[in-house]
Amino acid sequence: MKADSLRAAIRDVVDFPKPGIIFKDITPILADGKLFRESISLLCKTAGGVKIDKVVGIDARGFIFAAAVADRLGAGFVPVRKKGKLPWKTRQTAYSLEYGDSIVELHEDAILPGESILLVDDLLATGGTAAAAVKLLDELGANIIGISVLIELGFLQGRAKLAPRPVHAILTC
């Protein structure tokens, strides 16, 4: 029932950000305190009781969920941002997504080798952005416990780019 309420709140926006894309708008979930709280609770459960040192969130909507999950788990929060948005020394990697190419960055001192990491985002589509974040985390020696998303667009098979990492989706569309 909890996931059904979240699913019902997601708004499909046709042809955004370009023709042919159906954008999954999660702002109705964010605007409803009960739904937002429930989404964070469900994402926290994906850690499976493992102690998480840092929750890594992907720019930009992933920050919203990851920061709240980090707070609940008593972990630090680390942002993976688009190129040029972080003020310190960074590592970066290029990737492709369903409507273009981009580069993401991570502060090179954000993760210590061996730290347990939960990677969180709002949506898993083709897996390009998450795979880029995983690459950066691997370069820093992170112990990625799992990748957790609110929504997975299963038909795009993004999960395959993340194997063998465990991927947890609250909702599959």
What order do you get walking across the sheet with 76-82 strand by strand? Answer: 90-97, 100-107, 76-82, 54-58, 116-124, 143-152, 167-172
E-strand stretches of the chain = 11-14, 22-25, 54-58, 76-82, 90-97, 100-107, 116-124, 143-152, 167-172
Is position 108 annotated as part of the catalytic site? no
- Taking only the tens of pLDDT, the chain with its 173 residues reads 588 999 999 999 999 988 988 999 999 999 999 999 999 999 999 999 999 999 999 999 999 999 999 999 999 999 999 999 999 999 999 987 666 788 999 999 999 999 999 999 999 999 999 999 999 999 999 999 999 999 999 999 999 999 999 999 999 99
Structure pTM? 0.95
Of 72, 91, 98, 165, which residue is the catalytic one? 98
Is residue 33 within a helix (H) or strand (E), and if so which, with residue range?
A: helix 33-45
Pairing outcome for strands 11-14 and 22-25 = antiparallel
Is position 61 annotated as part of the catalytic site? yes
Of 61, 81, 152, 159, which residue is the catalytic one? 61
In the 8-state DSSP scheme, what is residue 78? E
Is residue 30 within a helix (H) or strand (E), and if so which, with residue range?
A: helix 27-31
Kindly list the structural domains of the chain, giving each domain's residue range(s) and its CATH number in brackets, ordered by start. 48-172 (3.40.50.2020)
